[in-house]
Structure 1
Amino acid sequence: MKNAGTKEKLQHSNSDGKENDQLIESFQLQVAHYKKEKDILLALSDDITKVRDKNDLITLFKKRIKGLYHITHTIVTLIDYKEGSYTPFLLDNDGSPIRSHDRYSEMVQSHFSLNEPFIQTVLKSDGPISFVLEDIMDKPDSPPFLRVNYEKGVKSILMTCLMKEGKPMGFIHIYSDDVNGFSEEFRSVIKGIVPQISGAVSNIIKNEEILNKEKEKSFLLDFSSAIATVKTKEELASAVHNALRKLSPECGFIIRRINEDNSTLSPYVYHFNKQLDRKMLAAMEQSRFPINDGLQNRILASTIPLFFSAEKELQRGNASGYVQFWKELGISNFVGIRLRNAETNLGILLLDIEDINLELVQGICSQISIAMSNIIAHEQVDKKQNEQAFLLGFSTDITLVRTKQDLQDAIFTVLDKTMHTKLAMIRVIDDDGIHLSPFMFDRSLFDNGKNDFEKMSSMRITVDEAYTAQVLASKDGVMFNVEEELRNGNDYAKLWKSTGLKNMYGLPLRVNNKPIGTIWLLANKLSQLIVKGICSQISMAIANIQANEKLFAYKKKLEVENDYLKEQIKTIYNFAEIIGSGEEMQKVYRLMSLVAESNTTVLVLGETGTGKELIARAIHNSSPRKDKLMVKVNCAALPSNLIESELFGHERGAFTGAIDRRIGKFELANNSTLFLDEIGELPLDAQAKLLRVIQERELERIGGKQVIKIDVRLVAATNRNLEEEVKAGRFRADLYFRLNVFPIHLPPLRERSEDIEALTHFFVQKYSRNTGRKIKKIAPRVIQQLRSYTWPGNVRELEHLIERSILLSTDGALEEVYIPQNTDPGKKDEAHLLNRSLEEMERSYIIDTLKRCLGKISGPGSAAEVLQIPGNTLHSKMKKLNINKADYFGN
């Protein structure tokens, strides 16, 4: 009504109608402006009351304003007075033109300084203030987001403070791509809406805090549930990793536990997002870091989490290796929180994380501490149970001990594998009750101080020796720190130091409270329960061994005397499998006894049938390799194309027909003896390969690439004259020299006639049993017959002749033997010649001469001329000796 009255007065008071119209129009525009502003403010206020999600505020604001005014996008930043910066809080996720800029992520995460001239101007303004980006973006200390927006087409920015309780809490940033995009009308609207926006932002912050609190509570409840089921270190590591991953996907961590020495910490569980190589991982897991390193002690003393910079720690001289290690992993900043259960520090948690909710992390650490305490308690219980089980098992092992060697094996095994320590020395008190003698020790422990150990271990000391007396007088033993003993001038300490172990434990050995000796163990740390338990068991075992040694002393003495008497009645060279004790065989036995114990290559030479394989087997059975099977190869029986495969083996597919891998005879004979019979029959190409294997002691299977080391003792045999074979080029000289290291020549049977009777009785007994014939008597004339025969086939021929004669005998006596009478007249072997009559020898000689003369009997170049007898005489002899044309013109 008031406005209507004013209009009526104006119309009547001014006669100039045109001027009144202008005033009316101006008033109407003013009214429309106020109405528009009022509508906008009311609409925005109404929208703001509906805002629940923080980014909805920007969306609604832009939706109401953008259609009326020329803007591109809007964001809200919040002030952190403690840090002296402001950071993005509400973002225009849909309309911002800079989202495609390569620095967008950087801008979203940046903390911009409140000391910049640009933002100071905004803070000092009593309302919205606008800037042209081109005018301010390159000025000193201007925030980089100005240029980033300019590069994406933004021309101007309107800034105004958001207030809370009379103090700026943040800023609203409004951008336009028009240099003159912000009119007075727009500024007025913004100024009017700022209180509502400030209230909305404040509410959003409160709601977020409430939601975060709820999330934290929910998170801690979930983590508490997960941690409640944890029983092992591995489960703890998994639970912590899963929880921290929810806070920060890239978060790495390591928990260090305070060691039993209370002066160092070692890695307990950990997880790094970056892959560690094995060397780095092993170095980290085995490290022990001093508590007082200037960093860990600060964490353990602090009730709140502490933030650290790896670079700054290095600059201030922190020499801890893990700081440099983390820097190499790319970890620049980390947080340290102590892990504490009640009043006891358990260790520390180190996090590779930049932004952290301290309250939440403290809640996590509280849960971790409880779980860690429970795991340690379980570990201690398990440790005691394992120790008790171990002592029970060790007690069982000790009950089986009968000898000093058994005890040493049991002690060395249990100390090395279970306790990770070494036996330095066990000394036992002598019968005089004064001196102590070395009983047992681990010589390998003192490789670096071998000379000193040999000297000190050989000494006999008394019970009054300073360190021994101290140990014997103690209840549970004495621990000597190696470094301290070095400083005190302990003569033994230098030797202890050479092992690299930190402590020497000296413990008394007692049986029924009576000291029987001392045991000395080198280790870094030992369990008192286990040490006490094994000392008791070892004491009983030593006492039992000493008692057994005394009980068996007299028995042993009698056994030694008995063995000595037995040795006296034995022959010097006893090879039971070989029959014969004549002079020639005694020479062979002597050579065999000299070479049997060694690994020397032996070459057995002799005629066919002399028993070369028997000699090889006797050498093997008398050697240290007798517990393994001797492998035999008959070189004459091998096809030339299979010799290499037979000796050295082959891989599958090495040649046609090689359907499976084959292990050669050399591999089969590893750590045993290989007998190469008829070595003279080996082809030249196989000889070369055999020589390489003998020289190098290694081989490769046919078609294989792996070099196989072998340890084979070689015995070779042949009936050929290898020297003649070498001259003829049929045998390699270098292989012959390799084989001919220790030759043994077997005499033919005709040269050892004194052994024929013993051999005859042996074969009669053998084949009587095999054939079922009971031969109880051998006629004397049989033995005489056998001795007069020259035996071109040697012992083998004698064996077969006896077998045939037994089969032909009809009663229990061997009355005659069937010695061959008709031998091949073409043979010139000495043995055959000695068994022929004069007539047979003359007939054979005439036939050979006729063959050489192509059957010509008389005349020049005839057989009669060669024999230097008349042709008629030769005709007469041929008729008398029944020599026909077929004899010298035969096939």
Structure 2
Amino acid sequence: MPTNDETLLLHLNEAIATIRDKDSLFKVVTTKLRLIFPFDLIGINVFDEEVQQKRLFLRDYYGVDEAPPLPPGADYFSPIAGSPIEKLVADPRVQQFTPQQYLADYPEYAAYKKMTHLGITHLTAVPLHIAGRLTGFMTLASRRTPHFTAADEKLLEKIGSLIAIAVANTLAFEEVARREQERTLQLNITNALLSIKQREPLFRAVAEALSQVVRFDYFGLRVQRAGRQEPFEGFAEFARSAESPDAPLLALDPNRQHGLNQLDTSAMYQQLNELLQNPGLFAADDFRAQAQRYPLLRHVYEEYGTRAMLIVPIWQRPDGAAVLMLASPNPTAFRPEDLATVVSLAPQIALALENLFAFEQIEELKAQVEEERTYLVGEINTSARFGADSGTFIGSSPALQLVERRISLVAPTDTTVLISGETGTGKELVARELHNASPRRARALIKLNCAALPAQLIESELFGHEKGAFTGAVERRIGKFELANGGSIFLDEIGELPLDLQAKLLRVLQEREFERLGGTKVLHSDARVIAATNRVLADEVAAGRFRADLYYRLNVFPIELAPLRERREDIEPLLRHFIQRLSKRLGKPIRQVRPTDLAALQAYSWPGNIRELEHVLEQAIIVSQGPFLEFAGFAGAPLLAAAPAAQVAMTIKTLKEQERDHILAALQQTGGRVSGAQGAALLLDINPKTLEARMKKLGIRRMVGVG
């Protein structure tokens, strides 16, 4: 008949062989064990293979209403050296001692202090061996003195060997379960990668799947990309909505600054960068130490009660970095196994980031190409060019040659160019030539006339808007700067830009960044800026209508276009060009210009410059019937009515006189009205402000009583 000792060993063997659940197994083990060796507390520490690290595997109190909480970090590996366990490891046998004996050498050891507080007076340590290898220690603690015989110690040694096997089996089962969890997690993440293409839903799925294996209250994926102002952008961030570990994860604003409104987060992340280089688990006292060292961790420690953080770099490379951070207010939330789990997922998360970057870039390029196509179709349908079909200028005057030379010098660079000249002198043609001769010619030249839109719409045209940004914004629209990324943007009539938008334009020129109306995301544009104006911007700056800092940013490389009256030798080749092109477009035969008409056209002051010349010829081509072009409907027709060239020469006035007469004739015809649908500016085809400037220069006053 077996003895009590043998019966106990048989029961323990049976339990170890048949029970797989850790809690159930050790409930049976401790219950049977207490029948032979009464104790009030049992604790089992397990060691790593090198017997350098220890971890608390099991702790149970008996006869205590509320067991004290585990010391921070007790359930994951910590060094044996410096703890009372090192004495047991040095002499691995069944031995008895009191808490006071160990407190003499380890006065700060919290576990023994708590035992003393609970009235524990004696401890029995039992080594756990498997095949002669020390794998841990079991400690039995009691409030009364146990009296062990030599036979009892032998029995405890045998029990220690059985419990060592039970612990090893349990750990093996836990490892199998953990790996199965990891495989399930990796499968879930792979499925998400294959089915989800949007940033927030994808990483919410990753965070939710990860939370089934690792318990956390904050999930943050932060990315650093080359060319960005901020060191790390909040790529995906989620947090628990309540204290419950089962509370749903709520998405956080990726552009938020962690509440650091007055603090320099860029500098903080740069300081933290050294900590983000390697995987790490920081908890309890260790995390508090890091919080004292790094201001950003101190902020989350104080403001959010964070007491544990797990950091896993996703990638570190020249074009940027990515790091995953999990955080919790529970100092014992993370274990080394959790760190290993997240590290094993890093390649999949890196792949998810790569896929998303590629997908977002494709979507952005698709939207940009579509916008560019729509824009170019509109340009083809509405724009007309003043130069030849080949894109070259018409004429050979010194003034035109100077312009062509300056274009050839600046076109290969990315330098900002300011084109100035009267209305109709061909500023857009110069912009096109600059773009076509530049390395950016494969992309579009995007243009915006700052005088053609109401002030409230110019910002949307320049920078775009988000859906709902203002009444009528029914969908997101990208702006001209976004559309011109990689190409050139031509800002015509820049002098008409309102002052508040001048400041925003200055930011784009300086920082190459902007936001859409109604948006918070900072966008970047690599667009070469070409601006044009018919105003004297230096005078506008002096008058306070144009920002001086913007003027100097624009006026890096000025190109000034001479008016047509200052390059009369170009009029005849321009005539030939326009007659050929317009006759073909209008389906009219090519007619010649009488020598007398040519002389008069060359003598005319052309306040509307090349544009006015084109319009005069178009009108003449339409109305003419005979072999020659007829200019009877032209506002300057009296000049063309003179017959012989000699008489024309006799009646030619100075350019100033001719221009004055022409403007007065237009004012007479419009009743003195300068602007508006019935104004002289429309009749002369020039900007009203340009006309007013010419009138002031020529001493022409407005007629009293008219608009």
Normalising by structure 1, report the TM-score.
Answer: 0.42
Structure 2 residue aligned with 1:240: 206
Matched, 1:391 2:333: no
Tell me what 2:671 maps to. 564
CA deviations 1:296-316 (Å, max 9, x no partner) are 4775xx6x6245777666766
State whether residues 265 and 291 of structure 1, in contact with CA within 8 Å, keep that contact through their aligned partners in structure 2.
no
Compared CA separation, residues 503 and 565, structure 1 to 2 (3 A): closer
- 1:415 is aligned to 462
* SS of 1:256 mapped into structure 2: strand
For 1:820, the equivalent position in structure 2 comes to: none
Counterpart residue number, 2:42: 74
Q: How does 1:530-569 map to 2 (within 5 A)?
A: 554=635, 560-564=667-671
Which consecutive residues of structure 2, in runs of 5 or more, have no partner in the other structure? 243-251, 329-333, 385-448, 465-477, 507-526, 532-545, 562-608, 620-633, 637-662, 675-704
CA shift in 2, pair 1:312/1:501, >3 Å: farther
Note if contact 1:255-1:270 (Cα within 8 Å) is conserved in structure 2.
Answer: yes
Equivalent position of 1:63 in the other structure: 31
> For 1:363-378, what aligned pairs fall within 5 Å after superposition?
363-378=344-359
Tell me the distance in 1 between the aligned counterparts of 2:335 and 2:110.
22
| Residue of structure 2 aligned with 1:305, choices 249, 272, 279 | 279
Give the structure 2 partner of residue 45 of structure 1.
13
1:100 aligns with 2:66: yes
Q: Tell me, yes or no, if the aligned pair for 1:226 and 1:239 is still in contact at 8 Å.
A: yes
Query: Could you tell me whether the CA contact under 8 Å between 2:221 and 2:237 is conserved in 1?
Result: yes
Match for 1:216 among 176, 182, 199?
182
- Secondary structure of 1:293 counterpart: helix
Distance 1:327 1:67, change over 3 A: closer
1:379 Cα offset (Å): 1.3
Q: Would you say 1:355 and 2:401 are equivalent positions?
A: no
Deviations 1:613-633 (A, max 9, x none): xxxxxxxxx999xxxxxxxxx
Q: Which of residues 172, 175, 196 is equivalent to 1:230?
A: 196
1:256 paired with 2:192, answer: no
Q: 1:406 — aligned with what?
A: 452
User: Secondary structure of 2:15's partner?
Assistant: helix
- In the aligned structure 2, how far is the partner of 1:323 from the partner of 1:334? 9
Task: Name the structure 2 match of 1:187.
Answer: 153
Distance 1:142 1:107 in 2: 16
- Residue 266 of structure 1 contacts residue 289 of structure 1 at CA under 8 Å; is this kept in 2? no
Deviations 1:661-680 (A, max 9, x none): xxxxxxxxxxxxxxxxxxxx
The aligned counterpart of 2:586 is none
Q: Post-superposition shift, 1:169?
A: 1.6
Pairs within 5 Å for 1:340-489: 340=315, 347-352=322-327, 354-356=334-336, 357-394=338-375, 405-406=451-452, 413-417=460-464, 418-419=478-479, 440-446=496-502, 477=528
CA distance in 2, matches of 1:478, 1:183: 94
Matches within 5 A, 1:459-608: 477=528, 498=549, 554=635, 560-564=667-671
- How far apart, CA to CA, are the structure 2 residues paired with 1:447 and 1:107? 55
Partner SS, residue 67 of structure 1: helix
Cα distance, 1:139–1:203 mapped onto 2, change above 3 Å: same
Q: Does 1:268 align with 2:241?
A: no
CA distance in 2, matches of 1:499, 1:310: 49
Match of 2:359, as an amino acid? H
Correspondent of 2:270 among 287, 293, 296: 293
**1:809-860 deviations in Å (ceiling 9; x for gaps):** xxxxxxxxxxxxxxxxxxxxxxxxxxxxxxxxxxxxxxxxxxxxxxxxxxxx
Q: Is the 8 A contact 1:162 1:197 kept in 2?
A: yes
Aligned 8 A contact 1:339 1:347 in 2: yes
Question: Which structure has the greater CA radius of gyration?
Answer: 1
Cα 1:35–1:262, aligned 2, differ >3 Å: closer, same or farther? same
Q: After TM superposition, give the deviation of residue 549 of structure 1 in Å.
A: 10
> 2:324 is aligned with what amino acid?
L
Q: Deviations over 1:61-104 (max 9, x none)?
A: 23323233433343311124779553321233xx6344603445
Give secondary structure in 1 for the equivalent of 2:175: helix
Q: How far, CA to CA, are the matches of 1:407 and 1:343 in structure 2?
A: 44
SS state at 2:270 partner: coil
Shift of 1:215: 1.8
* Partner Cα distance (2:314, 2:548) in 1: 36
Deviation at 1:202, TM superposition (A): 1.8
- 1:107-128 residue CA offsets vs partner (Å, 9 max, x unmatched): 9648776345743443344531
Indicate conservation of the 8 Å contact 1:477/1:507, yes or no. no
- Please state how far the C-alpha of 1:351 moved relative to its aligned partner: 3.0
Question: What is the one-letter code of the residue matched to 2:57?
Answer: F
CA contact (8 A) 2:310 2:326 kept: yes
Unaligned ranges ≥5, structure 1: 1-31, 429-436, 451-475, 481-494, 511-541, 568-621, 625-891
Q: Label 1:230 to 1:132 Cα distance change in 2 as closer, same or farther (>3 A).
A: same
Deviation at 1:366, TM superposition (A): 1.7
Higher relative contact order (CA closer than 8 Å, sequence separation 6+): 2
Amino acid at match of 2:17: T
Q: Equivalences for 1:605-684 in 2 at 5 Å? A: none
CA RMSD of aligned residues (A): 5.4
Q: State the distance in 2 between where 1:426 and 1:438 align.
A: 9
- Aligned partner of 1:205 in structure 2 is 171
Q: Distance in 2 between matches of 1:232 and 1:500?
A: 42
User: Aligned-pair distance for 1:171?
Assistant: 0.8
1:58–1:75 contact (8 Å) kept in structure 2 = no
Residue 242 of structure 1: how far off its partner (Å): 0.8
- Give the 3 Å change call, closer, same or farther, for CA 57–406 of structure 1 in structure 2: same
* Alignment-derived partner of residue 400 in structure 2: none
1:222 Cα deviation after fit: 1.9
Give the Cα–Cα distance (whole angstroms) in 1 for the partners of residues 612 and 340 of structure 2: 66
Change in Cα spacing, 1:401 to 1:123, as seen in structure 2 (3 Å) is same
Paired position in structure 2 for 1:472: none
- Give 1:238 shift: 1.0
For 2:36, the aligned partner's letter is L
8 Å Cα contact 1:340-1:369 kept in structure 2: yes
Residues 251 and 351 in structure 1, CA contact (< 8 A), matched pair in contact too: yes
1:241, distance to aligned residue in structure 2 (A): 2.2
CA deviations over 1:642-690 (Å, ceiling 9, x no partner) = xxxxxxxxxxxxxxxxxxxxxxxxxxxxxxxxxxxxxxxxxxxxxxxxx
Letter in 1 for 2:30: K
SS in 1 for 2:36: coil
| 1:446–1:561 Cα change, 3 Å | same
User: Residue 355 of structure 2 aligns to a residue in which SS?
Assistant: helix
Contact 1:306–1:337 under 8 Å retained in 2 = yes
Structure 2: how far apart are the matches of 1:249 and 1:500?
A: 57
| Aligned CA distance change for structure 1 residues 286 and 227 (closer, same or farther; 3 Å) | farther
The alignment partner of 2:129 has SS state of strand
- Checking the alignment, whether the CA contact within 8 Å between 2:75 and 2:335 is kept in structure 1 is no
> In structure 2, what is the Cα distance between the partners aligned to 1:104 and 1:307?
18
Maintained 8 Å contact 1:51/1:200: no
